[in-house]
Structure 1
């Protein structure tokens, strides 16, 4: 304070004690944090360099978390694949049981066979349930639309894209849609619907088709015909594959699938010509056999729709849907499941409305067993692709762990304190403080001598 006078020696000792206290505070902080650089005032270069190294390590930790997420999603998919494989084994068991009933036509055998069909289809539906449940943190590699890009560094300049595959029952092979034997039905309003979903009834149509819309459904392929009042090219005709819709014009031909199960939609060269038609050709079964080529023909001039169904032996039945005519006949088509759209997907067996049970011939059972084998091969192929990604991701994860450790060690080397040295400094400072206190005491004694005069 300005109104208190200190001797030069006392002020010098006091300043020395203050400096010693500051050094003791700094040393104490270094001992507690084990860092020699705790703020920018300690060493600006080391402080900011260490901060940048630590920040990069933190960013890489986020990248590492993304890789761990991808690995967990792949592991979840592999668990789903194993479960699907077990389900296929159960379906194989159903096929084996059905072989014991081949050639038996009594009521009890038919009932057992129908029960096996139900079991088979229930197991098949479980495959789709497994696929839907094989999701991890929003990522499902058992669905074909899934493509996860995994960053390998903090700028995402290097990455790996992990692609999923279609693991649903319809896709365990290369097939895109499945169903049973073909059936065609006519609704009360005269519109005609053809499907490959199950065994059904074929009947003649009623009512005037005129400019009404007629649709034919073949799995995921839908053909729509809306002729104008006078027929011909003035109408609207299209085909959709579930994703894209294509307009059908003069002479157009659209083909869906390859090999067995191919669906072809073709239009007459001139839709304004007399009796011009749009014809859909499809197959009931799983083999590329011309004897199984059924057709649905839309006469855009007269409105007549003709369904021609073959029995596999070359014989056929033509059902004509005439505008305005009352229903005059009906037949029931029976048989086992087939695949349309090409490929060897795991098919659903036909049951609804059948007069004879499915799974009743060795040929049908052999075809299903082949599909099981194809499905397993398909799973194994895609499982190996996922496994290849696991190796790459795991290696990158290990590399990032090592890199993060190096960055953290570098930051520590720049800022860490030598605990032994700082401990020795603290002892020296404590000694200096004690000596300073003694010196300050001695300096004050000189002033105390004045008191002896009184």
Structure 2
């Protein structure tokens, strides 16, 4: 086959046209893919570096799901603690309401004998109450007159009146009685005891009421402290002052209907704490149920792996030290009496401690949550940095590539024009024949 030769002008025009076409195709491909490096052939260093950066960014993107679930798990536990804290606050209100309903729940030694009467009041130009308060405690029974205060009739051999409150550890208070001690002195002494309060009514009767709901007894005897000995005629002696045959045996407190009605309310709130704690889980993990949460924070393995562990607490009314309430006069194992003042005080203290424990747990979870949220933001920023770095290595500048394509198209048109001109020169030779 014969070889056809072309002129140098035509050959140059063809070469320029082919080069321009190749460059234009490359520019079009870059514009279509958005990348200037589409394979290792284009730029092996940039291609593999970009792939490595994108791979790490992809791994962190996968970790974000676990971090997000971890945040929701901690948040669910934190919300649970907030709600439990409100329930404990309601329990405190219930205890305070029970404490305010104490008046009907006090052991009372109600006097039935009048220490004064109207005749004495007329003789002394005073009230029956004042007659009773001014009488001497010791001595033979005697009516008050214009010149004498009268006498309640306590034997001179009885020199002490002892009050005993039946707390878990019995508390006693001794009031010394002398020949000059008046009923007023006795009342003031009882009121200073902290165990009971005493008063004389307008009818002249002496009444003693315990300051707490613990059983109260009143003994007449001799000696003070460990040397106290009850009088053999205690019942008769007590009857002279109070009219009660025997108050050596402890007088029990009454039951408050209001306090009884609060028992169910308290226990219902207590049960809600347990239910709420059990419902504070997320995705199968409950930090208030004692579960452990592990959150992976980086893509590495082995000793280079970074993770955070959040150990939950087994939260319940029992673990918070909140016992069950009952309406008995005394507490039993695992329960406390809503009728008993001492038990109410202990319950109030226990609830205060529960709130402190909840705040500590909430603070710990809050600290862990802040760390995880910080790592989440860091991971998002790092993903953006890695992706931007990878894109800088392989992405094309569309403005540049568009301008280049436009220039190449212009060059292609000029090359075609040059090829036409070269052909015309060859045709001019042909016209010579």
Q: Compute the TM-score of the two structures, normalised by the length of structure 2.
A: 0.56
Offset, 1:90 = 0.7
2:276 alignment counterpart: 130
Q: Which residue of 2 aligns with 1:421?
A: 400
Query: C-alpha separation between the residues in 1 aligned to 2:314 and 2:331?
Result: 24
Task: Determine which of 368, 371, 376 is the counterpart of 1:397.
Answer: 376
Residue 126 of structure 1, CA deviation: 1.0
Gapped regions of structure 1 (runs ≥ 5): 181-197, 200-332, 340-346, 350-357
Work out the CA distance in 2 between the residues paired with 1:35 and 1:78.
47
Partner of 1:164: 312
Q: How do residues 102-251 of structure 1 correspond to structure 2 at under 5 angstroms?
A: 102=102, 104=104, 111-144=257-290, 146-156=291-301, 157-173=305-321
Deviations 1:234-279 (A, max 9, x none): xxxxxxxxxxxxxxxxxxxxxxxxxxxxxxxxxxxxxxxxxxxxxx
* Pairing partner for 2:361 from 369, 372, 382: 382
Highest Rg: 1 or 2?
A: 2
Give 1:45 deviation, angstroms: 2.0
Q: 1:66 is matched with which residue?
A: 66
Using the TM superposition, give the Cα deviation of residue 133 of structure 1 relative to its aligned residue in structure 2, in angstroms. 2.1
Q: Contact conserved, 1:53 with 1:410, CA < 8 A, in 2?
A: yes
The match for 1:409 is 388
Q: Please list every run of 5 or more consecutive structure 2 residues that lacks an aligned counterpart in the other structure.
A: 107-253
How far residue 32 of structure 1 moved from its aligned partner, in angstroms, is 4.7
How far is 1:18 from its partner?
4.1
Q: Is the 8 A contact 2:77 2:281 kept in 1?
A: yes
The CA RMSD over aligned residues, in Å, is 3.5
The superposition leaves residues 202-259 of structure 1 with CA deviations (integer Å, 9 ceiling, x where unpaired) of xxxxxxxxxxxxxxxxxxxxxxxxxxxxxxxxxxxxxxxxxxxxxxxxxxxxxxxxxx
Say whether residues 1:369 and 2:345 are aligned partners.
Answer: no
1:130 CA drift (Å): 1.5
Per-residue CA distance 1:160-205 (angstroms, 9 max, x = gap): 11111122212114x9xx667xxxxxxxxxxxxxxxxx89xxxxxx
CA distance in 1, matches of 2:332, 2:426: 116
Aligned length: 282
Match of 1:54 in 2: 54
Q: Distance in 2 between matches of 1:451 and 1:169?
A: 111
Structure with bigger helix share is 2
1:46 Cα deviation (Å)?
A: 1.0
Does residue 21 of the first structure (1) align with residue 166 of the second (2)? no
Contact 2:280/2:288, CA 8 A, preserved across alignment: yes
| Mapped contact 1:101–1:360 kept (Cα < 8 A) | no
Report the equivalent of 2:97.
Answer: 97
SS in 1 for 2:318: helix
Q: Please state if 1:433 is matched with 2:424.
A: no
Higher strand share: 1
Work out whether residues 330 and 340 of structure 2, in 8 Å CA contact, stay in contact via their aligned partners in 1: no
Name the CA distance, whole Å, in 2 between partners of 1:335 and 1:10: 118
Tell me if the contact between 1:92 and 1:369 (Cα under 8 Å) persists in the aligned partners.
yes
